[in-house]
Amino acid sequence: MKQRERLYWRCRRGLLELDIVLQRFLDKHYAQLDETQLKTFETLLLLPDNDLWDIISSKKEAASENLKSLLKLLQQS
């Protein structure tokens, strides 16, 4: 399975809001992401749904600078 397809599948979550935001993000930004950003995105996908949604919706702050820069793109999607 190609990396984009695998990531798209992993974006399917228990929260519809996450499905929408994550899949739109991939549709819009995947081609421009570098290797570091892709790895950061995969790390982000390891988070539990509620924690991930809290970070995306700015209820919690991201731990690292890599996550913060990727979150800016995610929040624009």
Tens-digit pLDDT string for the chain (77 aa) = 588 888 888 888 888 889 999 999 999 999 899 999 999 999 889 999 999 899 888 888 877 777 888 888 888 76
Length of the chain: 77
Token pair recorded at residue 73: 């793109």
pTM value is 0.81
Per domain, the residue ranges of the chain are 1-76
User: Residue 44's Cα: distance from chain center in Å?
Assistant: 6
Superfamily of structural domain 1-76:
Flavinator of succinate dehydrogenase (1.10.150.250)
At 71 the pLDDT is 85
Per DSSP (E only), the strands in 1-77 are none
